[in-house]
Structure 1
Amino acid sequence: PDNLMPYVAQVAAGRRKLLRVFGGDYPTRDGTAVRDYLHVMDTVEAHRVALDHLADMPGLHVFNLGVGRGSSVLDVVAAYGHAAGREVPYEIVGRRPGDVAELVADASAAGRAWGWRPTRDLADMCRDSWRFQQLNPQGYAGSARHPSGKR
C-alpha cells in the first residue's frame, strides 16, 4: 500500500516484517514527516453534511477537510502499536522524492459553512483500523462478497 495506515496495519498483523519510514531527518519534532490524518467516518460525515447544504450554497465551492493537527509517522506507529497491543517494528530509510516535512489541513471553512468538525482522533483511527484488520485479515481481498456473488 502507498498510504501509511494500511501499511502499519499489515505490519502489526504480521503480514509484513516491518514498516519502512521514509525520512528521519525532517525539521519536525521527531524527524519524521507530519500529516493531518482524518478518520474515514469523519470524511463520510463531512460529505453527508455537504450534501445537506447543496441547496443553500449554489455554485462550486472547495473545502479542505482535516483535524487541523499533524501527527508524525512515529506518532502513528506508537498509536497503532497501542491499539494493537503490540510493538510495530519499523526502520527509517531515505526520504521519498517530493515528500514535504509537514502538511496540515485548515478545515475552518467547512466549519463556518456547514458547522462540520471532525469528532475522531488518531487513537480512534488506529483502533478502528486494527478492528477492521482483525475482522478482515486479508484486507479488502478477503471481505464480504458483492451481492452478485463476485468479489
Structure 2
Amino acid sequence: MSEQEVTYTTLRFHKSSGLQNPVRPEETQRPRDVGHRVPWKFIVIVLGILCFLLLVTVAVLVIHIFRDGQEKHEQEKTLNNLRQEYQVMKNDSSLMEEMLRNKSSECKALNDSLHYLNREQNRCLRKTKIVLDCSQNKGMAGILNKVYSVLFI
C-alpha cells in the first residue's frame, strides 16, 4: 500500500429563503376553520382544577386516616386501663365476699354465745328467785316444786 495524502474540507451550503420555510400549497389555499381549533387554555384550566381537587381529596383522606389511627390508639389505651381497673375491682370484690363470709361466721358464733349466756342468765334468775322465796319462809313443798320446775323444765 502506498501512502496517500488525504485532505478534508468542510462544505457549507447557502440556503435560500424559499427553502428555509417551505410553504405547502394546500395551506395557503385553504383558510383555517375557527370552530375546529382546540381550546388548549380551557383544557389546561380544567385539568389544573381536577389535579387540585385530587390533591385536596388525598390530603383530606390522609388526615382522616391519621386521625382515626390516633383515635384507635387512644381507645385501645382506654380499653386496657378499663380492663385493669375491672381486674382490680373483681379482686376487691372477691376479698370483700371472703371477709363477709368470715364476719357472718363470727356473727353466728357470737349469736350462739349470746343465746347460751341468755339461757344461763334466765336460769340464774330463776334460781335467785327460788332462793329469795325460800328466804321468805314459804314452806318446803313450794320450794321443792319450784326447784324441780327450774331444774327439769
Per the shorter chain, which TM-score range? under 0.3
Higher strand share: 1
Q: Which has the larger radius of gyration?
A: 2
TM-score (ref. length: structure 1):
0.15
Task: Determine which structure has greater relative contact order: mean sequence separation of CA pairs < 8 Å that are 6+ residues apart, divided by chain length.
Answer: 1
Higher helix share: 2
TM-score (ref. length: structure 2):
0.15
